[in-house]
């Protein structure tokens, strides 16, 4: 599965980002049917792929949270721009929360030849991991001393973003094993002229199914973070402290 990233922009003075990185899937071949092991080109090879109900598991783990108070707002702003976040002139970037969502998987496939000389690849089982890279990082400008009013309100704001990341992930992964198994069952086995082509198509089928989960996480995280990051919200935060 190709690597790619996605970011969720937000307004200042606090920023966060959401990066999605998709790891490559590993193939393992399950034992083929007897006809494939013995005489793949004989008359009793099947003419079509055999439907299969794959066993699917989706796993996750809890990411830690790391607080970084060592950089100033200029460095935080630079990092936000490096992550292609929406940085608006006139605002100061005092906080940043970054959550890197990683997905990886291993699958077992059944591969056999068809009577017409083509190939079939079906999914027997798969195990996927969807989790945040640990730790989720929270940056607060070194301009503000720990315990000061600005430090506390920035920290509280960024922790709200962290909670959003975790809540969205947990909600989308609840029941994900069954939903993904059904999606892949409906997609069915893949047939192609060559075994390599059939494997590529199966890889694309699995990618699309996992992308559907990742897309849902990304969309909801973007929407909920955007609702938290409004000019009105930032003006309200700024009004809480006299010493910005």
Residue 85's pLDDT is 59
pTM: 0.76
The pLDDT value given to residue 32:
39
Residue at 188 is within a domain: yes
pLDDT, greater one: 124 or 42: 124
Check if the beta carbon of residue 108 is closer than 8 Å to that of residue 32.
no
Q: Which of 31-45, 80-94, 164-178 has the highest mean pLDDT?
A: 164-178
Mean pLDDT of 63-89: 81
For residue 108, being part of any structural domain is answered with yes
Assign 132 to helix, strand or coil.
strand
Please write the tens of the pLDDT for every residue from 39-49.
344 344 577 78
State mean pLDDT over 16-34.
41
The structural domain count of the chain equals 1
**Closest by Cα among 22, 50, 24 to 203:** 24
Domain-located, residue 41:
yes
Give the integer Cα–Cα distance in Å for 22 and 104.
Answer: 7
Compute the mean pLDDT over every residue in the chain, rounded to the nearest whole number: 80
Answer yes or no: is 243 within a domain: no
Residue with tokens 């999605």: 20
Residue 60's domain spans which residues? 14-238
Residue 213 resides in a domain = yes
Residue 231 lies in a domain: yes
Tell which wins on pLDDT, 155 or 13: 155
* Best mean pLDDT range from 24-38, 70-84, 213-227: 213-227
Question: Is residue 173 assigned to a domain?
Answer: yes
Stretch among 14-28, 145-159, 195-209 having the lowest mean pLDDT = 14-28
* 8, part of any domain: no
Non-local CB neighbours of 177 within 8 Å, separated by 6+ positions? 56, 57, 58
């Amino acid at each position: 599965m190709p690597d790619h990233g996605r970011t969720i922009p937000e307004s200042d003075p606090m920023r966060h980002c959401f990066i999605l990185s998709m790891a490559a899937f590993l193939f393992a071949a399950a034992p083929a049917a007897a006809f494939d092991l013995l005489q793949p080109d004989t008359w009793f090879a099947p003419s079509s792929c055999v439907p299969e109900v794959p066993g699917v598991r989706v796993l996750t783990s809890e990411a830690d949270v790391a607080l970084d108070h060592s950089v100033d707002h200029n460095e935080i702003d630079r990092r936000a721009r490096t992550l292609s976040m929406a940085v608006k002139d006139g605002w100061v970037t005092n906080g940043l929360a970054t959550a890197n969502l990683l997905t990886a998987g291993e699958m077992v496939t059944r591969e056999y030849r068809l009577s017409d000389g083509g190939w079939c690849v079906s999914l027997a089982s798969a195990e996927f991991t969807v989790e945040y890279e640990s730790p989720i990082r929270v940056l607060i400008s070194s301009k503000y001393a720990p315990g000061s009013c600005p430090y506390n309100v920035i920290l509280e704001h960024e922790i709200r973003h962290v909670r959003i990341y975790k809540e969205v992930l947990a909600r989308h992964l609840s029941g994900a094993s069954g939903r993904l198994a059904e999606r892949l069952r409906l997609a069915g086995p893949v047939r192609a002229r060559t075994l390599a082509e059939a494997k590529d198509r199966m890889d694309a089928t699995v990618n699309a199914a996992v992308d559907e989960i990742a897309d849902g996480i990304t969309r909801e995280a973007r929407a909920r973070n955007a609702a938290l990051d409004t000019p009105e919200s930032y003006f309200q935060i700024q009004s809480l402290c006299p010493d910005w």
